[in-house]
Structure 1
Amino acid sequence: MATRIVIFEDNDRVRNSLVTLLGNNKENTVCGSYPDVMNVSQVIRDEKPQVVILDIDMPQKDGISVIPVIKEIDPEISIVMYTQFEDDEKLFKSLCAGADGYVLKKTTPVKLQDAIEEVRKGGAPLSPAVARKVLFSFRDQSTAARDKYDLTEREIEVLELLTKGYSVKLIASELNIAYDTCRSHLRNIYRKLHVNCGKEAIAKVLAEKIVF
């Protein structure tokens, strides 16, 4: 069954090009294209799209502001931001609001079709430049968290495997260290993170992005 797509883009030329590009693919059905998001709730309810292509800079109301509106109507709708903006603020506001992908207009149009296919499979497509920004941001947060708790490189390695579900025995085997040495690392980790067990450690690691 073809993927139902709705497009919100204020530039007539770009919007019409997207309708043609995406509509020519038998895997898609473009069920609506609009120059603004003023009637987004009604459009989503009427058209019942599976994917929404959403520009950010539009008249009267920007695209980011309606992401929660769309998700509230149907959380299963995949939202792909299609924009010229690659600054950190708009990128992270979009992702935090619930966008499933972020594709820059300067990339080839084929990338947008690839992004649609990826979100339909549960992925989170990002243009290469955007992906680098996200990665660097996580690295910065991770580095700050590691410094905060004074974790050693070996302790980070142990934590990474712990969050993947490895047992103490498997962690020791993977890192080629003695079982008792691994237990000692874990005790130090729990002390530094101020937790009492592995589950609490994993929860804190994920919440504070200590590893990524």
Structure 2
Amino acid sequence: MTRPIGVYLIDDHHVLRQAIADMLDGQDDLRVVGQAGDAKSGIGEMETLLPYPDVVVIDLKMPGQSGSSAIAQIAQSHPQTKILVFTMYDNPAYVWSTMNAGASGYLLKSASRADLLRAVRSVAGGGGYLQAEVTMPLVKRLIQEARVAGDRGTLSVREMHILEALADGQSNKMIAKSLLLAEDTVKSHLRRIYEKLGASDRAHAVAIALRQQLIG
């Protein structure tokens, strides 16, 4: 007989956590092997379990250690364990960061019972799971990141020089003098740079350029 999928729950909402445990334990192929109200105690208890849980269902916002940092810790120490984020936050930045940290799935607490069961089974089987409601915002973020990355190549040599001057804190007048340009020409270049990088001002442009490694 195949061993049931061992699931560990980490969530500071006790009533919700117990309801999820009862639901999962009602399935023949799933078994809740433990639960905790915070990440630190949950990680500590999981280290005492043999075998280590197959799936960890974890919230993001809890007292003490955050779910995000716990995800990275679990993924590093037990890469074979699958992690499913179960949270109320649909911010694409959270989806992006938790998936990068090692999570295999992301589910909102507004999800149906069927969605939760499907997500647990999917990640346990080596797949991933993104709830439909978080997929579109994430795709939009990925498109924006790709657009910014793609625009690197469209920056001219002159624009790169101006970006580097911005990073050095030079004013428009100083940049114009050093590059032998009219100040109005520098302003025109800046407008194009902001547009290409999706920046709102000088500081934002420099921040994006540093993050995208356009300048050192």
- Give the shorter-chain TM-score range: 0.5 to 0.7
Note the C-alpha offset of 1:149. 3.5
Q: How many residues align?
A: 151
1:100-179 matched pairs, under 5 angstroms: 100-149=104-153
Matched, 1:44 2:46: yes
In structure 2, which of residues 32, 52, 57 is the aligned counterpart of residue 30 of structure 1? 32
* Among 15, 32, 42, the residue aligned to 2:17: 15
Q: Note if contact 1:45-1:73 (Cα within 8 Å) is conserved in structure 2.
A: no
Measured in 2, the distance between the counterparts of 1:42 and 1:3 equals 20
Q: Secondary structure at the match of 2:31?
A: strand
Q: Shift of the alpha carbon at 1:3?
A: 0.3
Cα deviation 1:34-89 (Å, max 9, x = unaligned): 11112233222222100000011111222111112112221010000000011133
RMSD of aligned Cα (Å): 1.7
Query: 2:92·2:141 contact (CA, 8 Å) conserved in 1?
Result: no
Q: Which has the larger radius of gyration?
A: 2
- Tell whether 2:74 aligns with 1:70: yes
Q: TM-score with structure 2 length normalisation?
A: 0.65
- Determine if contact 2:56/2:83 at 8 Å carries over to the other structure: yes
Evaluate the alpha carbon distance shift between residue 147 and residue 73 of structure 1 in structure 2; reply closer, same or farther with a 3 A threshold.
closer
- Name the counterpart of 2:86: 82
1:3 equivalent in structure 2: 5
- What secondary structure is seen at the aligned counterpart in 2 of 1:53? strand
| Aligned counterparts of 2:88 and 2:29: Cα–Cα separation in 1 | 26
Name the SS of the counterpart of 2:61 in structure 1: coil
Q: Secondary structure at the residue paired with 2:150?
A: helix
1:72 and 1:88 map into 2 onto residues whose CA distance is 23
Gaps of 5+ in 1: 151-207
Structure 2 contact 39–65 (Cα < 8 Å) conserved = yes
Once the two structures are TM-superposed, the CA of residue 98 in structure 1 deviates from its matched residue by 1.2
Q: Return closer, same or farther for 1:72/1:44 CA change in 2, 3 Å cut-off.
A: farther
1:97 aligns with 2:101: yes
Q: Are the structure 2 counterparts of residues 126 and 61 from structure 1 closer, same or farther at C-alpha, using a change threshold of 3 Å?
A: same
**For the residues of structure 1 that align with 2:30 and 2:48, how far apart are their CA atoms?**
18
**Matched position secondary structure for 1:119:** helix
Identity of aligned residues (%): 23
TM-score by length of 1: 0.66
- Report the 3-state secondary structure (helix = DSSP H, G, I; strand = E; otherwise coil) of the residue aligned with 1:112: helix
* 1:140 maps to amino acid: Q
- Give the SS at the match of 2:39: coil
Q: Describe the SS at the equivalent of 1:39.
A: helix
